[in-house]
């Protein structure tokens, strides 16, 4: 369900439930993150040296799926699991 934010910009938003259902659960996206942010998304991950650029694969609703040091590896993992990756801006 799309809702409107009551502020100056009136940007439409979509609920996490609606995002999760996009593409029948087969849509994902890759995002770049800094190693300092890994613990927030992947609390079970071991300590990683600061200052590294890493890549995360996320479900359409933003749920983190995997962490890697290569964009190509994230895309390959999505493909292996029949996920279609989309570009998000």
> Could you report the per-residue pLDDT of 20-62, keeping only the tens digit for each?
666 667 889 999 999 999 999 899 999 999 999 999 999 888 8
Pairing of strands 27-34, 84-85: parallel
pLDDT band of 89, cuts 50, 70, 90: low
Mark out the alpha helices in the chain (DSSP H runs).
16-21, 38-41, 71-80
pLDDT given for residue 71 in this prediction: 95
Instruction: Determine if the pTM surpasses 0.85.
Output: no
The whole-angstrom separation of Cα 12 and Cα 6 is 10
Average of per-residue pLDDT values in the chain: 83
What the chain holds in terms of domains, given with CATH numbers, is 24-85 (3.30.730)
């Amino acid at each position: 369900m799309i809702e409107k934010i009551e502020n100056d910009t009136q940007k439409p938003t979509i609920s996490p439930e609606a995002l999760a259902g996009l593409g029948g659960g087969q849509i994902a996206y890759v995002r770049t993150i800094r190693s300092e942010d890994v613990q927030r998304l992947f609390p079970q991950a071991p300590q990683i040296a600061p200052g590294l650029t890493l890549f995360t694969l996320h479900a359409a609703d933003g749920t983190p799926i995997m962490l890697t040091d290569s964009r190509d590896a994230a895309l390959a993992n999505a493909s292996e699991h029949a996920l279609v990756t989309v570009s998000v801006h």
